[in-house]
Amino acid sequence: GNSVTQMEGPVTLSEEAFLTINCTYTATGYPSLFWYVQYPGEGLQLLLKATKADDKGSNKGFEATYRKETTSFHLEKGSVQVSDSAVYFCALLSTNTGNQFYFGTGTSLTVIP
For other proteins, the binding residues (CB under 8 A) are 4, 32, 36, 41-46, 49, 51, 89, 93, 98-106
Q: Do 65 and 54 touch, CB atoms closer than 8 A?
A: yes
Q: Which is nearer to other proteins, 17 or 55 (CB)?
A: 55
Would you call 25 helix, strand, or coil by DSSP? strand
What is the nearest approach in angstroms of other proteins to the Cβ of residue 8? 8
DSSP classification of residue 84: G
Find the shortest distance in angstroms from Cβ 36 to other proteins.
7
Question: In this structure, are residues 34 and 92 in contact, taking their beta carbons and an 8 Å threshold?
Answer: yes
Q: Given the complex with other proteins, which of 59 and 105 has the nearer CB atom?
A: 105
Shortest gap between Cβ of 20 and other proteins (angstroms)?
20
Q: Hey, CA dihedral for 52, 78, 40, 103, is it positive or negative?
A: positive
